[in-house]
Amino acid sequence: MHWELEITLFFFLIVTALVALESRNLLTAVVSLSVFSFLSALLYAAMGAVDVGFTEAVVGGGVSGVLFVVTIFKTSRKSKD
Rule CB under 8 A: which residues touch another protein? 47-48, 50-51, 54-55, 58-59, 62-63, 66-67, 70-71, 73-75
Q: What share of the chain is helix, strand, coil (3-state, %, to 5)?
A: 85, 0, 15
Across the strands, what pairs with 25? 78
Choice between 75 and 80, CB closer to another protein: 75
Choice between 12 and 73, CB closer to another protein: 73
| Cβ-Cβ contacts under 8 Å for 50 (sequence gap 6 or more) | 44
Residue 32 Cβ vs another protein, minimum distance, rounded to whole Å? 18
